[in-house]
Each structure stands twice: as C-alpha cells, then as structure tokens.
Chains A and B, each alone.
Chain A
Amino acid sequence: MTQLHELDAASTAAAIASGEVSAIEVTQAHLDRITAVDGDVRAFLHVDTEGALAAANAVDEQRSAGAALGPLAGVPLAMKDVVVTKGLPTTSGSKILEGWVPPYDATVTRRVLDAGIVMLGKTNMDEFAMGSSTENSAYHPTHNPWDLSRVPGGSSGGSAAAVAAFEAPLSIGTDTGGSIRQPAAVTGIVGHKPTYGAVSRYGLIAFSSSLDQAGPFGRTVLDAALLHEVIAGPDPLDSTSIPQPGPDVVAAARQGARGDLAGVRVGVVRELTGAGGGYQQGVLDCFRAAVDTLAGLGAEIVEVSCPNFDYALAAYYLIAPSECSSNLARFDGVRYGLRVGDDGSHSLEEVMSLTREQGFGAEVKRRIMIGTYALSSGYYDAYYGQAQKVRTLIARDFAAAFTAVDVLVSPTSPFVAFGIGERVADPMAMYVNDLCTLPASLAGTPAISVPCGLSDETGPALPVGLQIMAPAMADDRCYRVGAAFEAAYTAANGFILKQISQLGAVR
C-alpha cells in the first residue's frame, strides 16, 4: 500500500476532503518521514512540529464542522527560509539573522496558511539565496536524495530536496537567476518561476529586488499549479505586483495532462542547447529526446535564435550583486540579528563592520563587493547601466521569439547534480549552472522545469530537467506543455522519483 508521505498533493487533499484520512495523520506521517530521512538529507533548518500539528488539527476541525475546504487544505508544505514567517525563526540561511523571529508574515506565508496548508518548517538554502548548490548555507549543506554525496542545486536546495525525499509533497522556493528551476532539475521534481510580479515579494528577504520571485515545487506539474494558484495574485503591499489576476494554471495543467499539443509551436533556443560546448552530453541527450516527445504530442518544433542570451550571465552578475549590496545594507547589528563587538570598546562603525564581517559568508561578501563597485560613481554607467541595457535586449529577443512560437525550451541546467565541495573553489564554475535559467529571470518571464530523463554520465543515474519558457503572464503555457510532457514521459518511463535508489530503503 502506498504510504501517506508518498502521495502527491492533489491526492492528499482529496483524501483529507473525503475523510479517508485526517490532516493530523498526514502531517504526522510527514513529520515521521522527516525524522527518518532528514538526518541524511538535511533539507530543513527548522521543523515546527507543534505548529504543523496545530494547523492540521484546525483543518480537521473545519472539516468536521462541515466547512468547505480549499483545494490544498491539510497538505503539508516546506517553506524556504528566505520567506518571513511570524513567530518562526527566519534566517535566510545566514548567521547574521540567527535567532531572528519575525513579527510579521510574508504575503506568501499568509496565503499558504489561509489556504489551510500545513507548514512543516523552514528549509535550508544558500545564504541570502546566493548560490546554486545550497553549500553557501551558513548552517550546513543539504544532500541530494538521488546521491547523498551530491548537492541538491540551489539556492532553494532545501525546498527541492524536501520534496524529492518525500518529506513534503509541496514546497516554496524563490528564484532570482534559476534558484527554483535548477534545484528542481537536479532533484527530479517540478519547479516553476512565475512571471515577475505574479507572486507578491512582500516578506521575501530581498536578494535582488528586480529579479526575485517566489514559486512552487511539487512532484507533479498539477501539484505545482495548485500551489501556484494559492500564492499568486495582486498584492497592495508590493508595488511591483501585477494588478491583474494571472491565468488559470490549474486548468492549464489539467488540459496538458490530456496529452495533446496539436497546434502548439515550440521554439528550441539555439543559444541554450550547447552549440558552443560546455553542456554535459547526457543532459543534451535527454533534452533532445524530450523535444522528440513534444513533437510526438503534436507540437510544431522550430529552432529559434536569441543572440543576446549570450550576455545574460554577465548582465546578471552585475545587476544582482548591485541590488544585493544595497538590500543587505540593513544587516548591521543595530536593530536585529547578530551583533558583534558591542563590548564598549568599539565604535558604532566598528560594531557594524565586525558584525558584517562575521555574519556574512564569503559568497555574500563577494557579491556585496562586486555590487558596491558596480554602483560606484564613475563606474555606474559602464556596469549597472550597461547591464540594464543588455536586459532590455534580452527581453526583446524573447518578444521577437514569441511572435513565432508559443513556448521556448532548453535544458534547465547544463549539468546534473555535482559533488558536494566540487565547485566551491571556483565561483565561475558555480555561476554557469544558471546559464539556461538567467534569460527568463532578466526578462521577468515565466519558466518551469520538468524532469525529462536520467543521465549516468557522471556516475549514478541523475535527473535532468526540461525548461519551458513562456511570455509574461502566460504561465499557463508552461503548465500546459509541462503537464503534457510529464504525462508522456511517465507513461513511457514510469514516475521518475521511483528510481531514487539511496532513499529506497526508507521509502
């Protein structure tokens, strides 16, 4: 018999709604699963057993009182620690916020809780969401459930690993340059970065304000769509929030699952398919097979060129550090979080400086320094200003492409999961993980990553992701094409997560 923690979110919600199981039973099953495997995976920074059980109990009481339940009521979720949660420690993976307990909820948190979703705890991440491996967490690395010696991607590695390890059916991540999509790809799950402005940023600890976007992780496209529906929508507390409601992504996922892509034009991005090398062969093989699958579903496949995508990496590593250098200025030990050197022997400036020196990790400091430099008077035009122009050109490439096709596809990352410690010494080797995800980040357009096969090129069989990109506010296209692909892939190869070997014993 299938155990409770193995169910997807949609089935779990249905079972709770019908009274087949209680939300308490579901929550307890996931807490037990966390106890069993998280010592190995280390996806969580903080597990809120008491709060989770209380929230589950509230759902059960509502049900027995005959109240109508939301579509995900009682379903457990893991929250990335960058999202502010009232009364629950929130560190953004940094020592500088160790022990900080926020006095307010992020809009995403509020919407999740209001939907009756049960928040199990806060997940590990690269410090302030800066990284692609979760190794930059100030607390500990997270291990990829497919191979515990490897990284789960990042920065939302904890949220991705929790879902892949069946510790939670759903989780929230944030994506600045690929931080949802790349970990989804390397852990074999579904992750979607919504259109910039579709999900409120209020209460997301900012890394790069013009790029940050929260989004859902799930083990199926439909689950991700159900969670997307809960968290998306206009928010008066975020002035960059899009004032109109987004498309019906759940309907799109259901439509896609019927497996018909007739009339859908799919563009393969020449610049993101390894023409210049640098992509693993196993990744490219899975990607080409995936394109064939899409063609088999009736999609029309076209090759598309987006020449300015080649400059995305350079532009991103000016814009994101610039914004972060300003966003992270508030962490100075004066009002909250860590304070170092306040023993009467240091001046205010020294206390600020000692706090930041001890509180921030190496990658955060590197980006603050790059950003501070890029914004300096005399350099602004050459760096930040120029990068913004590149951003406009990339958005134009997208716009031009979308006049000819409905969606664009590429591998999500050029690589499968790599070994813990393998790339830490070389920031550039780390940065290229996001090569394929950066263009959509810079353009503010939506993109989903869906598992599309396994590659054993670097050792054990490891998942590869297919990225599907759509125009702004057309997130439904990502879900439709993603669900169609998922259905075809699963029919041919079985559910991809069934093939995780290392956690098999516990599962």
Chain B
Amino acid sequence: MTVRDDVQLDLSYDSVVRRFAPVIGLETHVELGTVSKMFCGCSTEFGAEPNTHTCPVCLGLPGALPVVNAKAIEYTIRIGLALNCSIAEWCRFARKNYFYPDMPKNFQISQYDEPLCVDGHLDVVVEGQTYRVGIERVHMEEDTGKNTHVGGATGRIHGAEYSLVDFNRAGIPLIEIVTKPVEGTGPLAPEVAKAYVTELRDILRSLGVSDVKMEQGSLRCDVNTSLSPIGVSEWGTRTETKNVNSLRSVERAVRSEIIRQAAILDRGGKIKQETRHFQETTGETRSGRSKEEATDYRYFPEPDLVPVAPARDWVAEIRASLPELPAARRTRLKSELGLSTEDLQQMVNAGVVEAVGETVQAGASATEARNWWMGYLAEQANSREVEPTSLPITPAQVARVILLVADGKLSTALARQAVDGVLQTGKDVDAIVAERGLAVVSDTSELTRAADEAIAANPDVADKVRGGKVAAVGALVGAVMKATRGQADAPAVRQILLQQLGVSE
C-alpha cells in the first residue's frame, strides 16, 4: 500500500465520522480510599513528606512479604457489584515483572487471568440515548512509587541529571476497571467516553471507596481508540492514550485521536499499535512507547499470597449494604422534584444532581435548590475553576440559606453574602449571618424614616416621580438600600417610597 500525501481530504471531525466508525475502550485506574496500603500497614494519606509512609514491605526490602488488606478486597467487591459484575469465588494475585526504579521489587503485584470481578456493565445516557458499556473486568493491584527526574529538558528519565523516588505512593491499593470495546457510538464516541468516566466517578464516590480526584491522580484514565471505515465490520488497529487527567480531556483525547488516525488512513497509511500521551496544552496525543517493543511481563501467580476466596455470604452482605447508586437516585429525584428530562440532563451535565438531592433532603425546596446549584454556586465554581461539588459548602448549608430566605430573614442579596462568607471562611451559615449582621430590615418606621431622608436628599428625582415618571423611583430605592446596607427588602422599600411621594402605580 502506498502512502499518498497529495490528497487533500476534509479532516474536520464531522467529515471524519461520516467516513469512519470509532471503537473505544477505557481502562480506568482508581486509588482506593483505604486507610492503609494494599499489602502493608503504611498510611495512604496524600501529600506527606517523601518516603515517610514506607516500611520493609512497600520498599520491597529483601525478605519482606505482602499481606492483603481485607478492606481493599471489600472495596473492590463493592465496585464490582455496583458495576453488575460477577464476583470470582476464587482468584489469585499475579506478578507482573518489569524493571523500573519506581517499583521497589521490580515486579508489581497485580491480577492477570483471574480478576476478582468480571463481566459487568454500566449504562450511560448521551443526548437522550442510553449506551451500555460492557465491563470486562475489575482487578486489584498496587500502585508504584513516584519518580521526579531533575535536570534535562523534558522532565523524563532520559537526559535527567538525577532522579528522585518517593515510595509513599508505592503499594497504595489500585483497582483497574477495563471496559469491553464500545461500538456503535458513531460521532458520539468522545461524549460516551466522557459520560462513562463521569458516571463511573459518581458511582465510586457514592460507594465511598475512593475520593476520585482526577487532579490528584486518584482516578486515572487510559483511552483506547480505533477506526474502521463505515461498512467494514473488522476493527482497525488501536492506540492507547495515557495521561488523560480530567473529564474534559477524556472527550478531547478521543476526538483528537479519531482525527489523527483518520488523517493517516485517508492517506493509505497504517495505524501503529502504540501508547500515546495526551497533551493537555495542545489537546493532541503524542507517540510514546511502541507496543512492538513491549515487554513480556512474565506473569505468574504470586506465590507469597494465598488465593482470595470471598465467602458467598460476605458478598451477599456487601451487596445488601450498597448505597443507592447515582442512576437510581436520579430517577428518584426526577419524580420527587418533578423535573423534566431536560432539567435533569442539565443538572447531570453540571454535575450537581447529588448536591441538589441532598439539599432538598436537608429541607430546601426543589426549585430553590436547583436554582442555587445551577446558578450562583455554578458561577462561583466556574470562577474558581472547580466543580460545583468541590466548593467548600455543603448541601446542608445551602439548604439553611434557602430556608432563611423563605422565612424572609434574608434577602437574595444577603443570602449571597452569607454564601460568600461560608465559602471564604468555612464557618456555618448562622455564624456568618450573626457575625456580619446580615438581616432584612423589616421595621417599617425605620424604612419610612430612611425613605423620607432619601426624598429630602434627592428633590429632583422626587419631583420626577411625583410628575408621573414612576420608574425614576429606582434611584431612590437604591439610596435607601445603600443607607440600610442592603438589609432592606427592595420591593417593600419601593412601596414605602411611592406611598410617601403620594404616587400610586
């Protein structure tokens, strides 16, 4: 086959997906939120001084042996059950052998042909359509240490002056969730990929098994992409894109890889099976290690560990203790809150369904809860470049603000000040309200006095209003609000002003 470079084809995404059908697959690594590591008693806490959370086991010292953390097994089973997997009655760990300085033993304890959870699925909704993503397996492994390569231009090991290794992360329980190939998404492949990771993240969060922070690396994603010409049933050669570290990147990585592969196929070229790295800055992928020179990992059953054989009644117990999962909760909230499908979808997209539900549960009205999370809080989150649910305010606190407004104790403006206070200080709503003296001035005589003062201070405006230009009263309202430091109820002020000016609407 010859490679043609004389042909100018349309490489816009829309054009590409008219000619090629993408098949995607996702491998997601999740750090479990256990207190101790996978095979030793060391702490899993993030951000400690380098190499302080270590011991002979996670440093792989000669003679040290691993012992499985039962909590990690339990968490993995929870995940497997939430993803509709069957739980193996008997399975083993395996050693994955390769040399790298962030791996203290030069092998990683993982699972190979006997994963703990197999054959499940996860449904995601994109543009009103449900896509079933098959789950091939969920298996356990240990995380590696973290290398920092100092000196050299690239920050990579080659060319570095020296390298620092931090083994705090070595041995933290990781699970890998591998999907089956996802076909039939057509142009929506990037959105389906993103929706899958989002849904997975929400499930893991509701299970309480991980803090699923992509920015801290506790949830990491590799995306496999291949293309085949429309009408050809055989799949194309796939590439694996690593370093996809945000939900947005998942979508971008798939999209850019589809375009890149199409460009090669259009010119009659061949896709190289390889690992690629997603570049956050450019939104494109860059070639990494080639799979052709891939290591033979020489997997074999880990002889230092006995097989894992979770008792059936234990699995049943774990199943019974699963919380309501996001999909079920959404269905429930939709009917409870009387949401339209579009409303719900908007809330899903904004990532606030859980928060709204919990706010309602704490006593707020559904409409107000939705308005706050989709409105003011979404704006605050946006300006801070975080997810709304990462804001330092709880649904209960939001509910408290909403109740104060409903009771007439806060105006909308004051409520926002109260929320700002919580976001700034982390203190509770009532404490902020008391401290800052946030309260609606409802004493009519005080408002009447303020209104009279405003009229006296602005005779021209007063005349205009008296002369029939009722709209001009706004300036006087503003003056009163200013005088009462925003604590007055604006419609009430307006009423009093008109009354004092002897004008009726």
| Chain A residues engaging chain B, CB cutoff 8 angstroms | 83-84, 90, 92, 97, 100, 102-104, 106, 201-206, 208-210, 236-240, 322-323, 325-326, 329-332, 334-336, 347-349, 352, 372, 375-377, 380, 384
Once the chains are docked, how many angstroms separate the CA of A347 from the CA of B156? 13
Nearest CB of A to B438, in Å: 57
Instruction: Known contacts A329-B105, A330-B105, A332-B106; decide if A237 and B65 are in contact (CB<8 Å).
Output: yes
B318 interface residue, CB < 8 Å from A?
Answer: no
Instruction: Known contacts A236-B67, A239-B305, A376-B296; decide if A335 and B104 are in contact (CB<8 Å).
Output: yes
Q: Which residues of A contact B64 (CB under 8 A)?
A: 104, 202-203
Say yes or no: A323 contacts B303, CB within 8 Å.
Answer: yes
Contact partner of A348 (CB less than 8 A), chosen from B61, B68, B101, B304, is: B101
Once the chains are docked, how many angstroms separate the CA of A106 from the CA of B61? 11
B157 interface residue, CB < 8 Å from A?
Answer: yes
B56 interface residue, CB < 8 Å from A?
Answer: yes
Say yes or no: A239 contacts B300, CB within 8 Å.
Answer: no
Nearest CB of B to A95, in Å: 14
Q: Which residues of A contact B107 (CB under 8 A)?
A: 326, 329
- Counting contact residues on chain B (CB < 8 A from A), the size range is 20 to 34
Once the chains are docked, how many angstroms separate the CA of A323 from the CA of B64? 15
Name the CB-closest residue of B to A336: B61
Say yes or no: A329 contacts B99, CB within 8 Å.
Answer: yes
13 contacts between A and B (CB under 8 A): A102-B61, A102-B62, A104-B61, A208-B303, A209-B304, A236-B67, A325-B97, A326-B97, A326-B107, A326-B298, A332-B101, A347-B158, A375-B97
B208 interface residue, CB < 8 Å from A?
Answer: no
Nearest CB of A to B4, in Å: 37
Name the CB-closest residue of B to A238: B65
Instruction: Known contacts A330-B104, A377-B298; decide if A201 and B303 are in contact (CB<8 Å).
Output: no
Contact partner of B101 (CB less than 8 A), chosen from A83, A209, A334, A384, is: A334
B95 interface residue, CB < 8 Å from A?
Answer: yes
Say yes or no: B63 contacts A326, CB within 8 Å.
Answer: no
Contact partner of B97 (CB less than 8 A), chosen from A104, A238, A329, A336, is: A329
**Given A201-B65, A205-B63, 5 more contacts at CB 8 Å?**
A237-B67, A239-B66, A239-B68, A335-B104, A375-B97
Q: Which residues of B contact A331 (CB under 8 A)?
A: 62
Interface of B is mostly: loop
Interface of A is mostly: loop
Say yes or no: A329 contacts B65, CB within 8 Å.
Answer: no
Q: Which residues of B contact A347 (CB under 8 A)?
A: 158
Nearest CB of A to B450, in Å: 75
Name the CB-closest residue of B to A206: B63
Say yes or no: B296 contacts A377, CB within 8 Å.
Answer: yes
Once the chains are docked, how many angstroms separate the CA of A329 from the CA of B107? 8
Say yes or no: A102 contacts B67, CB within 8 Å.
Answer: no
Nearest CB of A to B234, in Å: 25
**Per-residue CB proximity of B54-84 to A under 8 Å, as 1/0?**
0010011111111110000000000000000
Q: Which residues of A contact B3 (CB under 8 A)?
A: none
Say yes or no: B99 contacts A210, CB within 8 Å.
Answer: no
Say yes or no: B104 contacts A240, CB within 8 Å.
Answer: no
Contact partner of A104 (CB less than 8 A), chosen from B56, B105, B297, B304, is: B56
Instruction: Known contacts A237-B67, A375-B298, A377-B296; decide if A326 and B95 are in contact (CB<8 Å).
Output: yes
Q: Which residues of A contact B65 (CB under 8 A)?
A: 201-202, 237-239
Instruction: Known contacts A202-B63, A377-B298; decide if A239 and B56 are in contact (CB<8 Å).
Output: no
Say yes or no: B304 contacts A204, CB within 8 Å.
Answer: no
B406 interface residue, CB < 8 Å from A?
Answer: no
Once the chains are docked, how many angstroms separate the CA of A376 from the CA of B295? 10
Name the CB-closest residue of B to A109: B63
Once the chains are docked, how many angstroms separate the CA of A14 from the CA of B104? 46
Q: Which residues of A contact B105 (CB under 8 A)?
A: 329-330
Q: Which residues of B contact A380 (CB under 8 A)?
A: 298-300
| Shortest beta-carbon contacts, A-B, top 6 | A329-B106, A209-B303, A375-B298, A210-B303, A203-B63, A84-B63
Q: Which residues of A contact B106 (CB under 8 A)?
A: 329-330, 332
Say yes or no: A205 contacts B62, CB within 8 Å.
Answer: yes
Instruction: Known contacts A239-B68, A239-B306; decide if A326 and B300 are in contact (CB<8 Å).
Output: yes
Q: Which residues of A contact B306 (CB under 8 A)?
A: 239-240
Q: Which residues of B contact A100 (CB under 8 A)?
A: 62
Say yes or no: B61 contacts A204, CB within 8 Å.
Answer: no
Q: Which residues of A contact B63 (CB under 8 A)?
A: 83-84, 102, 106, 202-206
Q: Which residues of B contact A106 (CB under 8 A)?
A: 63
Q: Which residues of A contact B101 (CB under 8 A)?
A: 332, 334, 348
Name the CB-closest residue of B to A377: B296
Once the chains are docked, how many angstroms separate the CA of A328 from the CA of B300? 15
Once the chains are docked, how many angstroms separate the CA of A104 from the CA of B60? 12
**Per-residue CB proximity of B425-464 to A under 8 Å, as 1/0?**
0000000000000000000000000000000000000000
Nearest CB of B to A3, in Å: 36
Taking each of A106, A326, A335, which has the highest tally of chain B beta carbons within 10 Å of its own beta carbon?
A326
Q: Which residues of B contact A209 (CB under 8 A)?
A: 303-304
Name the CB-closest residue of A to B300: A375
Say yes or no: A384 contacts B104, CB within 8 Å.
Answer: no
Q: Which residues of B contact A322 (CB under 8 A)?
A: 300
Nearest CB of A to B166, in Å: 13
